A and B are shown apart, each in its own frame.
Chain A
Amino acid sequence: MYVSLLELIDFRSYPHTEVPLAAGVSVFLGPNGQGKTNLVEAVDYIATQSSHRVSSDQPLVRSGADRAIVRAQVQRDDRQALIEVEINPGGSNRARLNGGQLTKAREALGILRTVLFSPDDLDLVKGDPSARRRFLDDLLVARQPRFAAVRSDYDRVLRQRNTLLKTAGRSGRSRPGDSALSTLEVWDAHLARTGAELLSARLSLTADLRPHLTKHYTEVAQTVPKPGGGNDADLSYRSSFPLPPGAVSRPELAEALLGQVAVRRDDELDRGVTLVGPHRDDVTFTLGWLPTRGYSSHGESWSFALALRLAAFSLLRSDGDDPVLILDDVFAELDDARRIRLAELVRETEQVLVTAAVPSDVPADLLEHRFDVRDAKVTGARAR
């Protein structure tokens, strides 16, 4: 798939701009702070309805405006789709598909798929568990858009339940028949149901991702294999509570989660927060026998981060259509060997959007469609 036209209205630094795009590699060049990342962020927003840079939508709206609009014309096989997302930081977003209003903005998810690489990807390896959970959940939604609803339901159950835990904890928990406690059981059930759905999807996703990760890490790092897989890259899911052994079904996971919630009841009431569930889980990355965290060198961590994104890309590609590949400022961060690896992937991908401050940051043969970005104005594309 590829984006053939991108239009921004009051998005970030752009008052209004239209950029016609083609399949192949498009490179956006310009000095710092001119709007290169803003542009590719908009493409990614159409796909994920979230930004890789900020967790709230407010910074996405041009200062002084009260809403932003992003439109993209997407070509998939022979079909085309016009997706429009209106970003309303005060209220809820709205989306249109081919001119028709959708009931919920998230119904527009999954039509355009993207994989975005950025210098912040190092956080996947070195940062908090939240970065890794987000990596998994974003990929989950890209593969099966219905998980956007599961994810938001789970977040809402958590907020409701945490509020209740705080009030129940304060009002004293010993009184039997206390209504706060009886409704807590209701939220336990919903936590277990939505939590198990998210958890089981993450477990099968990590299983699907593993072979791709190992393969790409070897390519990127160009390691000399150590005997017995001594430097194979791998990942394993770390649940915040003991999972029943063996392949586990959703009902089994729900039951296990419910059981843990009962065990942790007093703790949870004391602290006023939900202590078990997928929001507390993590993913452990390993190189050979050692976890990357605390052990890997800077270079190894970079290779790992890159391999994770590449694995996500391969997985989406294996589901069918090529996702749009977005490389925000990444070539400048890479050494020659990694650059060559990434350039190879780029060459065989249907559409790639690259940002860089200067042309010398980008391998010369990738400067196919070249755009200049200055002061939120985009000019080009000049053939090389």
Chain B
Amino acid sequence: MYEGVVQDLVDELGRLPGIGPKSAQRIAFHLLAADATDVHRLAAVLAEVKEKVRFCSVCANVTEEELCRVCRDPRRDLALLCVVEEPKDVLAVERTREFRGRYHVLGGAISPIEGIGPEQLRIRELMVRLADGTVTEVIIATDPNLEGEATATYLTRLLRPMGLRVTRLASGLPVGGDLEYADEVTLGRAFEGRRSVDD
């Protein structure tokens, strides 16, 4: 244990994802040794990001305005909706340039172990968006792992009775992985080869 504020810093850093106690300690001492101006700049960005950045009121992608860049863009095809787990997945799909519709960010995947069920995800919001019939095809692009598949199955069962075309990305994505880490070519191909889901 360190004294007072140093320990506070180590604790705070240790709460970030992917940072264990040892890394937290290393980062803390790096910050202590760094130039005051550098540390202040970091502190300012942290404060600013929290102040300015919020979630798009339509799709829950990150944005500095009411609507995100995609939802503001009049050239996007309103009939196509791509459902993803996280805002970072929007970025991954955008990089492929294969998709011209809009997005819906769920905020995670169904995982009972982590206490995440349909209520914890933005599924009610999705149903509201689909209600007026503008969207005719929903592409489910959850991660190609077990929880992503379970979420896709759940959504498919929910959406099919509404008479929509429901598609899932074609296989070829590395199984057990994260959408985020799929390279652009593979992900692009998966989009092109998407298929209707029977289950």
Contacts and interface: CB of A to CB of B under 8 A. Distances in A.
A190 B153 contact: yes
A167 B116 CA distance: 12
Contacts of B117: 179-180, 183
Interface residues of A, number: 22
A186 B154 contact: yes
A182 B118 contact: yes
By secondary structure, the B interface counts as: helix
A248 B68 CA distance: 52
Interface string B168-186: 0000001111000000000
A63 B62 CA distance: 45
A161 B153 CA distance: 15
A160 B118 contact: no
B153 A186 contact: yes
B111 A160 contact: yes
Given A104-B176, A183-B118, A189-B199, A153 B146 contact: yes
A183 B154 contact: yes
A164 B112 contact: yes
A339 B165 CA distance: 67
B118 A190 contact: no
B157 interface: yes
A164 to B, nearest CB: 4
B149 interface: yes
Contacts of B193: none
B154 A159 contact: no
Contacts, number: 48
By secondary structure, the A interface counts as: helix
A103 B174 contact: yes
Contact of A186 (B150, B174, B176): B150
Contacts of B20: 90
A179 B150 contact: no
Contacts of A186: 110, 150, 153-154, 157
A265 interface: no
B113 A163 contact: yes
Nearest to A91: B20
Interface of B: 20, 110-113, 117-119, 146-147, 149-150, 153-154, 157, 174-177, 199
Q: Which 5 A-B pairs have the closest CB atoms?
A: A163-B112, A164-B112, A186-B153, A186-B154, A160-B112
Given A157-B146, A182-B154, 15 more contacts: A103-B177, A104-B176, A149-B176, A156-B146, A160-B111, A163-B113, A179-B117, A179-B119, A183-B110, A183-B117, A183-B154, A186-B157, A187-B112, A189-B199, A190-B153
